[in-house]
């Protein structure tokens, strides 16, 4: 695994601190969406389908920071929309780094080279560009519905690495993904020099137009087992090994919808990053008034039955690591041996 030690330490002490305080529900990663606007219109994404007056709006840096401070999660993921289109992205990132938050700036990297040349960002152990890459050139360009984007992203990654930034990739796997092609993709990303890769299956949330191409649970297990059964030592994953084992069907986890709370133009999204069932005006209100028992597989909620997405299950995996000797042992063994 490729998560830096300082980040592992921060997360470990944070989780243990929450447990010592007896907090049953706590956030791990804040999903901060400063805008919905994007320079792509991917078939698998329902995030940009809003009227023009909504797409023109964005949060202020002050609103973002107030959310970060109230939430208290040690990691902040900045998706969107395309965060490099956010006019104050440089200032926002500086403020987050100053707060010692581990920032994952989730970008399609089309604008990355340009923004780096503008000097908007400084390399820091707290900042990682998490570049959206859904596979090799053909698969990625098909997923983002525009040809040439893979090459632009690779160029952005090279530039960021050359300037000393941390770069990871984030990949959503759709139905029909080829394990062999994905293994070739892992090799290509490692050859590029990225720090690590993040993987997640897609999810058929109701507003995503590509309903038919998301993976069902069984197919997900099969795909991840084939892809990761004998992982090469050089493949680095920037995520919990237990989450990858869960995707392979080797761990049985329940969803932690409050683990990655989402804040955007409309407020704090209930109950999670994917389902959009309403909004709370504060993080405290979100935590106190959301009917959490209605979500996750055990709840019987239809919308949750096939979901295995990172935003619900990676927090579970991290919590499991620090809440049982077995979880801790499994995580250590996978980290040390590279076997999943």
Please tell me whether residue 213 binds another protein under the rule CB under 8 A: yes
Please tell me whether residue 57 binds another protein under the rule CB under 8 A: yes
Site for another protein in 94-153 (CB under 8 A): 145
Task: With beta carbons less than 8 A apart as the criterion, state whether 94 and 131 touch.
Answer: no
Nearer to another protein, 48 or 103 (CB): 48
Q: Which of 224, 209, 297, 214 is nearest to 255 (CA)?
A: 297
Site for another protein in 262-291 (CB under 8 A): 265-267, 278-279
Stretch that binds another protein, among 1-9, 51-59, 129-137, 227-235 (CB under 8 A): 51-59
Compute and round to an integer the Cα radius of gyration of the chain. Answer: 19
Nearer to another protein, 118 or 147 (CB): 147
Nearer to another protein, 26 or 174 (CB): 174
CB atoms within 10 A of CB 224: 26
Q: What is the smallest separation between the CB atom of 144 and another protein, expressed in angstroms?
A: 10
CB atoms within 10 A of CB 268: 23
Burial letters 288-302, b for 16+ CB under 10 A, else e: eebebeebbbebebe
| Residue of 6, 13, 60, 206 interacting with another protein (CB under 8 A) | 206
| Residue of 16, 23, 41, 122 interacting with another protein (CB under 8 A) | 41
Burial letters 181-219, b for 16+ CB under 10 A, else e: ebbebbebbeebebbbbbbbbbbbbeebebeebbbeeeb
Please tell me whether residue 43 binds another protein under the rule CB under 8 A: yes
Please tell me whether residue 209 binds another protein under the rule CB under 8 A: yes
Residues near another protein (CB under 8 A) are 41, 43-44, 46, 49-51, 53-54, 57, 145, 206-207, 209-210, 212-213, 265-267, 278-279
């Amino acid at each position: 695994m490729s998560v830096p030690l300082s980040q592992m330490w921060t997360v470990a002490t944070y989780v243990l601190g929450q447990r010592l305080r007896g907090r049953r529900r706590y956030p791990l990663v804040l999903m901060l969406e400063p805008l919905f606007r994007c320079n792509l219109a991917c078939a698998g994404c329902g995030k940009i389908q809003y009227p023009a007056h909504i797409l023109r709006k964005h949060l202020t840096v002050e609103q973002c920071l107030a959310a970060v401070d109230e939430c208290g999660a040690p990691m902040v993921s900045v998706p969107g929309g395309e965060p490099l289109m956010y006019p104050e992205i440089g200032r926002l990132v500086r403020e987050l780094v100053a707060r010692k938050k581990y920032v994952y700036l989730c970008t399609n990297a089309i604008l990355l080279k340009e923004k780096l040349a503008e000097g908007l960002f400084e390399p820091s152990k707290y900042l990682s560009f998490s570049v959206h890459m859904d596979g090799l050139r053909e698969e990625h360009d098909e997923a983002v519905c525009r040809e040439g984007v893979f090459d632009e992203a690779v160029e952005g990654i090279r530039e960021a690495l050359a300037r000393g930034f941390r770069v990871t990739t984030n990949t959503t796997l759709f139905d029909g993904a080829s394990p062999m092609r994905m293994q070739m993709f892992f090799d290509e990303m490692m050859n590029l020099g990225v720090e690590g890769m993040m993987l997640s299956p897609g999810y058929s949330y109701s507003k995503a137009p590509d309903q038919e191409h998301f993976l069902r649970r069984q197919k997900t297990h099969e795909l991840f087992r084939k892809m990761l059964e004998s992982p090469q030592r050089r493949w680095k994953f920037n995520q919990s090994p237990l989450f990858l084992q869960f995707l392979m069907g080797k761990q049985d986890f329940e969803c932690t919808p409050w683990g990655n709370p989402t804040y955007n133009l409309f407020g704090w999204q209930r109950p999670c990053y994917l389902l959009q069932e309403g909004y709370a005006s504060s993080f405290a209100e979100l935590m106190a008034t959301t009917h959490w028992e209605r979500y996750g597989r055990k709840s019987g909620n239809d919308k949750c039955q096939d979901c295995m997405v990172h935003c619900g299950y990676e927090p579970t995996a991290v919590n499991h690591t620090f809440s049982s000797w077995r979880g801790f042992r499994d995580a250590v063994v996978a980290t040390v041996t590279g076997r999943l």
